[in-house]
Structure 1
Amino acid sequence: MKIHLKRLNENYHFETKNERGDVVHLDNKSEPNPQGASPMELLLMGIAGCSSIDIVMILKKQQLEMTNLEMDVEGFRVDGAIPNVFTRIHLKIIIDGDIPENKAKRAVDLSLEKYCSVAKMLEKTAEITTEVILNGSPVNK
């Protein structure tokens, strides 16, 4: 796996490209008009994407189809710490569809505890917590 990064302006706007040509823009979030996500935001996007792919895959293998999957991810850091790593990450997973509550919860747990490579890396510095909402109702832990 390889990524190429190129600086696009005199400040912090960068373009990254993978071997397939997919482009992601990065910037410093403290800039007045950032032109991309910050690297730390990309980490949160990474755990959201990685876990979502797992959840879809796990439920599809059980022949359970979702009508919707959304995720809100919030990262928490200690102000002023250097490096300023995430100490806690909370994922709110919103699933809609004809899916039993225990299957939805199990898919989320399997993703974060076993399959999601991003979560497995981030759990070394951050406590990862979840909240599952199925068809508008919270799923009991």
Structure 2
Amino acid sequence: MSNKITTVWKGGMKFESDNPSGKTVMMDTDVEGSNERFGLSPKAMMLSSLAGCSGLDVVSILDKMKIDGYDFKMDVEGELTDEHPKYYHTVTLDYHFTGKDLNEKKIKKAVDLSIEKYCGVMEMFRRFAKINTNIHFHNS
């Protein structure tokens, strides 16, 4: 299976990239002398892709386990190398679950399945970065 995208320069430091779903995303970076941004930075989007991939796994697995009544968010922090080309050498992914009477055992199982088996983006990150993961339960 392969994916193909097309990325088009939109002037300045802006690029628009499509997706096999037909949706698009705007990318740019900081421009000296300007604080206006039009899109997401490519490196930060990598972290978003990691969270999205794992999050989709977790929600799908929990749905199959008939687990509901929770709120879920992820914080991802990537540490870049000092030298060019700068890449993430360490990434920390914190899974936060909030709710009453959270089924911590099943939630942990769902997260572990994503981390260890299903999340392809996580596997890609493992090729160049140390991955740290933490699960936080916030009972409301």
TM category, shorter? 0.7 to 0.9
Give 3-state SS (helix, strand or coil) of 1:12's partner.
coil
Match of 1:7 in 2: 9
Alignment-derived partner of residue 88 in structure 2: 86
| Segments of 4+ moved more than 3 angstroms | none
Aligned residues: 135
User: Normalising by structure 1, what TM-score?
Assistant: 0.87
Partner amino acid, structure 2, of 1:94 = H
Per the TM alignment, residue 96 of structure 1 is displaced from its structure 2 partner at its CA by 2.3
Cα offset for 1:44? Answer: 0.2
Q: 1:29 Cα shift?
A: 3.2
Q: CA RMSD in A?
A: 1.7
Mapping 1:41-60, distance limit 5 Å: 41-60=44-63
Which digits, 9 at most, give the CA deviation of each residue in 1:101-133, with x for residues without a partner?
122222111111110010000011111111211
Paired amino acid for 2:95? I
Q: Where does residue 126 of structure 1 map in the other structure?
A: 129
Structure 1: which 5+ residue stretches go unaligned? Answer: none
- Unmatched runs of 5 consecutive residues or more in structure 2: none
Question: Percent same amino acid among aligned pairs?
Answer: 37
Of 14, 24, 37, which aligns to 2:40?
Answer: 37
TM-score of the superposed pair, with normalisation by structure 2: 0.87
Deviations 1:52-101 (A, max 9, x none): 0000011111111143111111000122x122111111111111244321
Check 1:87–1:136 CA distance in 2 against 1; reply closer, same or farther (3 A cut).
farther
2:70 corresponds to: 67
In the TM superposition, what is the alpha-carbon distance from 1:26 to its structure 2 partner?
Answer: 0.4
